[in-house]
Amino acid sequence: MLKPLDPLLHSELRLAIISILIGVEDADFVFLRKQTAATAGNLSVQIDKLSTAGYIEVEKSFVGRKPRTLCRITDKGREAFKEYVEAISEYINI
């Protein structure tokens, strides 16, 4: 029996966000938008979904007068990504 794929990570944009965050200490919204080529609105919605699930932490602040949104992966997010990769590997190795 194949493991079910985490529907939260099975979304292309959410998987891209987690994949980026797994390799860095943190990333700001502008960097994530450039790396994913997502619209600001779509990226914001997907970040909120990942944050609500506890997969990422979001820190909002200001640099001067500019807002800054900083994202970092949580231990729960790392574990979910690991399980997702293991599950997808099973599908590939059939």
Which residues is 63 bridged to in the sheet? 66
Q: What is the pLDDT of residues 17-28, one digit of tens each?
A: 999 999 999 999
Which helix (H) or strand (E) is 76 found in, with range? helix 75-92
Tally of residues, the chain:
94
Mean pLDDT of 46-64: 97
Mean pLDDT in residue range 66-73? 96
| pLDDT surpasses 80 at 35 | yes
CATH architecture for residues 12-92: Orthogonal Bundle (1.10)
Average model confidence (pLDDT) for the chain? 96
**The pLDDT value given to residue 1:** 83
| Euclidean distance between CA atoms 77 and 88, whole angstroms | 16
Q: Is a pLDDT exceeding 90 seen at residue 94? A: no
Question: Contact at 8 Å (CB) between 9 and 15?
Answer: yes
**How far is 44 from 21, CA to CA, in rounded Å?**
15
Instruction: Find the mean pLDDT for residues 39-51.
Output: 98
